[in-house]
Amino acid sequence: MQITIIGTGYVGLVTGTCFAETGNNVVCVDINEEKVKQLRAGKSPIYEPGLDTLLERNIKEQRIRFTTSITEGVEHGQIIFLALPTPPGKDGSADLQFVLDVASQLSTIITDYKVIVNKSTVPVGTAEKVANVLALNLDRSLFDVVSNPEFLREGVAVEDFLKPDRVVIGTNSERARKLMDELYQPFVRQGNPIFYMDERSSEMTKYAGNAYLAMRISFMNEMANLCEKVGANVDMVRVGIGSDSRIGKRFLFPGVGYGGSCFPKDVKALAQTATEYDYDFQIVRTVMKVNDRQKTILGKKICEYYGSDLSGKTFALWGLAFKPETDDIREAPALELIDELLKAGATVSAFDPEAMDNVRRIYGEKVHFAESMYAALEGASGLVIVTEWSEFRNPDFDRISDALVHPAIFDGRNVYSLEKMEELGFYYESMGRKTVHSQIHNELEQPKETLIRDRGTND
Tell me the catalytic residues.
Answer: 262
Q: Find out whether 81 is annotated in a ligand binding site.
A: no
Q: Does 167 bind ligand UDX (CB under 6 A)?
A: no
Containing 382, the helix (H) or strand (E) segment is strand 382-385
**Among 161, 187, 253, 410, which residue interacts with ligand UDX (rule: CB under 6 A)?**
253
CB contact at 8 A, 64 and 12: no
CB of 218 to ligand UDX, least distance (A): 9
**Among 40, 153, 166, 420, which residue interacts with ligand UDX (rule: CB under 6 A)?**
153
Q: Find out whether 178 is annotated in a ligand binding site.
A: no
**Among 21, 30, 154, 411, which residue interacts with ligand UDX (rule: CB under 6 A)?**
154
Q: Find out whether 191 is annotated in a ligand binding site.
A: no
CB of 419 to ligand UDX, least distance (A): 22
Containing 357, the helix (H) or strand (E) segment is helix 356-363
Q: Does 389 bind ligand UDX (CB under 6 A)?
A: no
Distance separating alpha carbons of residues 395 and 63, to the nearest angstrom = 43
At 329 the three-state DSSP class reads coil
CB contact at 8 A, 218 and 253: no
Q: Output Rg (C-alpha) for the chain, integer angstroms.
A: 25
CB of 142 to ligand UDX, least distance (A): 31
CB of 380 to ligand UDX, least distance (A): 24
Stretch that binds ligand UDX, among 81-89, 152-160, 285-293, 367-375 (CB under 6 A): 152-160
Q: Find out whether 155 is annotated in a ligand binding site.
A: no
Q: Find out whether 43 is annotated in a ligand binding site.
A: no
At 5 the three-state DSSP class reads strand
| CA-based nearest residue to 320, from 286, 294, 355, 287 | 355
Q: Mark 288-307 with x for binding to ligand UDX (rule: CB under 6 A) and - for no binding.
A: --------------------
Q: Does 47 bind ligand UDX (CB under 6 A)?
A: no
CB contact at 8 A, 381 and 408: yes
Q: Does 151 bind ligand UDX (CB under 6 A)?
A: yes
Q: Does 150 bind ligand UDX (CB under 6 A)?
A: yes
CB contact at 8 A, 355 and 320: yes
Dmax (CA) for the chain in angstroms is 87
**Among 6, 55, 102, 217, which residue interacts with ligand UDX (rule: CB under 6 A)?**
217
Going from the C-alpha of 458 to that of each of 154, 397, 448, 451, the distances in angstroms are 48, 20, 15, 10
CB of 255 to ligand UDX, least distance (A): 4
Q: Does 340 bind ligand UDX (CB under 6 A)?
A: no
The angle at the Cα of 154, spanning 26 to 44, to the nearest 5 degrees, equals 45
Q: Find out whether 259 is annotated in a ligand binding site.
A: yes
Phi, psi of 196, deg, nearest 5: -95, 140
Closest to ligand UDX by CB, 150 or 352: 150
**Among 99, 152, 169, 290, which residue interacts with ligand UDX (rule: CB under 6 A)?**
152
Q: Does 318 bind ligand UDX (CB under 6 A)?
A: no
Edge-to-edge strand ranges of the sheet holding 167-170: 64-67, 25-29, 2-6, 79-82, 114-118, 143-147, 167-170, 194-197
At 272 the three-state DSSP class reads helix
Stretch that binds ligand UDX, among 46-54, 97-105, 255-263, 403-411 (CB under 6 A): 255-263
Closest to ligand UDX by CB, 18 or 344: 18
**Among 146, 252, 270, 370, which residue interacts with ligand UDX (rule: CB under 6 A)?**
252
CB contact at 8 A, 29 and 16: no
Question: Helix crossing, 282-294 with 263-276: angle to 10°?
Answer: 150
Strands 2-6 and 25-29: parallel
State which amino acid sits at residue 447.
P
Q: Does 13 bind ligand UDX (CB under 6 A)?
A: no
Closest to ligand UDX by CB, 94 or 179: 94
CB contact at 8 A, 100 and 22: no
CB contact at 8 A, 11 and 150: yes
Q: Find out whether 420 is annotated in a ligand binding site.
A: no
Q: Which of residues 256-275 bind ligand UDX (CB under 6 A)?
A: 258-260, 262-263
Distance separating alpha carbons of residues 300 and 414, to the nearest angstrom = 17
Q: Find out whether 253 is annotated in a ligand binding site.
A: yes
In the complex, which residue's CB is closest to ligand UDX? 262
Q: Does 211 bind ligand UDX (CB under 6 A)?
A: no
User: Known binding site for substrate: residues?
Assistant: 151-154, 206, 251-255, 259, 323
User: Known binding site for NAD(+): residues?
Assistant: 30, 35, 86, 121, 154, 265, 330
User: Known binding site: residues?
Assistant: 30, 35, 86, 121, 151-154, 206, 251-255, 259, 265, 323, 330
Interacting residue ranges for ligand UDX, rule: CB under 6 A: 150-154, 210, 217, 251-253, 255, 258-260, 262-263, 322-323
